[in-house]
């Protein structure tokens, strides 16, 4: 599809650890929303970024890793493609991972715009993982990193254990609430109808 007048340049960046049994064909199918959006007929055809200096979309079969540093021209409708891709990657991911997406306003020229004009640049973070616990673990680790980096401007890192503990407490509460919500409507244990929980009963790891 032609996107020469697309209002955004959209950059997708992130590394996703994949299960050892994931094949290129499975990955190509999972990433179909991306390469199809780019107007390609296959992952190999669509893996190249709009910028030559960017590696694009790479499948590291040795490390079982999906590497993405890929830019495509597009519009707001790209968000739907991202949602579809993340749902598919959940089934292939070995661990939780974060994917950064930046929308650069291609129509905004800082030198020509009025002084009070603002670009439509946007940034979103999406998460994939084999289960809710894995996804929450990544979210928790990123939040701890951000909070610690911010507070170390004023406090020594050794003083921040209590702050990290409070963050862990918040994520534990969120995880418990999720597990409890998934338990509603499930048959009682022993009736033969209960299966493994979506969260696997596994809490995110805590930093001690």
Reported as a single tens digit per residue, the pLDDT across 33-54 is: 999 999 999 999 999 999 999 9
- Counting residues of the chain whose pLDDT is more than 70, the rounded percentage is 79
Residue 187 has pLDDT above 70, yes or no: no
For the entire predicted model, the pTM comes to 0.77
* Number of structural domains the chain divides into: 2
Residues 64 and 154 in one domain: no
Parallel, antiparallel, or unpaired for β 97-105 and 122-128? antiparallel
Residues 118 and 174 in one domain: no
Q: What is the pLDDT of residue 52?
A: 94
Strand partners, 104: 9
Instruction: Name the more confident of 158 and 111.
Output: 158
Where are the alpha helices (H) located in the chain, listed in sequence order?
24-30, 32-37, 43-46, 78-90, 132-151, 161-183
Euclidean distance between the first and the last CA atom of the chain, given in angstroms as a whole number: 51
Q: Is 26 helix (H, G, I), strand (E, B) or coil?
A: helix
Residues 123 and 135 in one domain: no
Q: What is the pLDDT of residue 175?
A: 81
pLDDT tens by residue, 101-155: 999 988 766 655 556 666 778 999 999 999 988 999 999 999 999 898 998 889 8
Q: CB neighbours of 51 closer than 8 A, spacing ≥ 6?
A: 71
Residue 94 domain boundaries: 8-129
Residue 68 has pLDDT above 60, yes or no: yes
Residues 14 and 37 in one domain: yes
Assigned token pair, 50:
């709009």
Q: What is the pLDDT of residue 200?
A: 44
């Amino acid at each position: 599809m032609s996107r020469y007048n697309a209002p955004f340049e959209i950059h997708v960046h992130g590394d996703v650890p994949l299960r050892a049994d994931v094949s290129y064909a499975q990955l190509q199918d999972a990433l179909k929303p991306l390469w199809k959006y780019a107007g390609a007929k296959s992952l190999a055809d669509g893996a190249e970024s709009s910028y030559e200096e960017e590696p694009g979309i790479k499948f590291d079969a040795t490390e079982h890793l999906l590497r993405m540093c890929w830019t495509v021209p597009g519009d707001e409708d790209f968000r739907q493609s991202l949602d579809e891709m993340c749902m598919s990657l959940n089934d292939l991911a070995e661990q939780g991972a974060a994917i950064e997406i930046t929308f650069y306003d291609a129509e905004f020229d800082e030198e020509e715009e009025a002084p009070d004009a603002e670009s439509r640049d946007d940034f979103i973070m999406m998460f994939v993982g084999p289960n809710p616990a894995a996804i929450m673990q990544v979210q928790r680790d990123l939040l701890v990193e951000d909070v610690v980096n911010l507070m170390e401007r004023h406090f020594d890192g050794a003083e921040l254990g209590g702050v990290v503990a409070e963050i862990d407490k918040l994520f534990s509460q969120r995880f418990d609430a999720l597990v409890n919500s998934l338990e509603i409507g499930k048959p009682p244990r022993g009736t033969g109808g209960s299966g493994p929980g979506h969260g696997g009963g596994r809490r995110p790891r805590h930093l001690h």
